[in-house]
Structure 1
């Protein structure tokens, strides 16, 4: 292996390790010091009050089926963003619940979007979606670059799976850093859907 290849590989491993380890913060801090204006619940769901939410970054690119996808086009709807990988066992556990809730909220001003990460090709991602009945689109983000677009100290995704609720104004209202069942997902989603 050449020195350049080794350096690229080590850089990629370091980036993945930093992303994985960055979830060690508790309470009102996340990935850096300072008050972040969000509340950590006992159920692993963090929320931000309506006036103190950070805007979601640009979440756009190719979907796992090769189409262009831009989350910004859903502004005016509540968007559920689920970060997942086909290799991730907690993702496999929560997938049927996400499929069920996505179908239940169709036509209610809610859009589900996945971010598939760390799958080396789209083949296992497409098989995962088919197996679990996932009908909503997923961005293909094999290196985790989309996750890194979120500012530190905000309700940023730090683990796989992570779930974010983006409000109708395009701001991050809630985050879970663990697998969710349908009850947990609805508990996180319903207050944001009810906002005027």
Structure 2
């Protein structure tokens, strides 16, 4: 449970992926619709994905937040001072959260060498289901387990606590630089991150490696290395290929 206590930041190895079909079959939250998870007090709204940028002079400091991750480590936001943090609120039962996870993974990979780190916040969820989901999705960064939803409440002046998913970009000085209410996209998240990376001279975001380009290159390489159909070679050798018959 999140608290104001600050613990040391320890990164544990990612646990072995465990596929749990029941987790992925849980009901998701529909875009823009009120959904209910649990009791009458657990209704959430999936936002429209709108974003807001806060200029340096208008940024507010993040609240003191800390807690235990799904891996059992103690983590505090203050541990990330000096880095840009993408703070993402999610739940295993949230459909838009599942839809945006590949985007978060891709951006996390591309910006790892540009002073950007990620921290998830899992709220209003069963801990076993949340762990199974994180392992199955192979989420590459830690997530605080916040069943009561205390972290969103701490950020209620910036993001509606019942909006899920939601994403905050926190600058290296511990101030909120941007927010997204609802699921984010690759283009949106990178456009919000790039100015902060440049502002703090963390490198050139335009020179970052592109995951999509690397995957395309690997796919092309695999295709070019595919073994030739032996029947084609035999037909060419004995002259029985197309166009050689009388």
* TM-score w.r.t. length of structure 2: 0.61
| Cα displacement string for residues 93-122 of structure 1 (whole angstroms, at most 9, x for unaligned residues) | 00011111111111211110000011122x
Query: How many Å separate the matches in 1 of 2:125 and 2:178?
Result: 26
Aligned residue among 172, 175, 180 for 2:176 = 172
Match of 1:51 in 2: 57
Deviation at 1:157, TM superposition (A): 5.3
| Cα displacement string for residues 8-60 of structure 1 (whole angstroms, at most 9, x for unaligned residues) | xxxx744x44xx47x8xxxxxxxxxxxxxxxxxx9711111101111111121
Q: Is 2:92 the partner of 1:86?
A: yes
Match of 1:29 in 2: none
Output the aligned Cα RMSD.
2.0
Distance 1:148 1:177, change over 3 A: same
**Conserved 8 A contact 1:118-1:144:** yes
Q: Is 2:164 the partner of 1:128?
A: no
Distance 1:120 1:48, change over 3 A: same
Deviation at 1:133, TM superposition (A): 2.6
Query: How many Å separate the matches in 1 of 2:56 and 2:162?
Result: 22
**Conserved 8 A contact 2:49-2:182:** no
Query: How many Å separate the matches in 2 of 1:83 and 1:151?
Result: 13
**Conserved 8 A contact 1:45-1:176:** yes
Query: How many Å separate the matches in 1 of 2:175 and 2:108?
Result: 20
Aligned residue among 178, 190, 193 for 1:189 = 193
Match of 2:119 in 1: 113
**Conserved 8 A contact 1:155-1:174:** no
Deviation at 1:151, TM superposition (A): 4.9
* TM-score w.r.t. length of structure 1: 0.75
Q: How many residues get paired?
A: 161
Match of 1:142 in 2: 147
Query: How many Å separate the matches in 1 of 2:175 and 2:147?
Result: 24
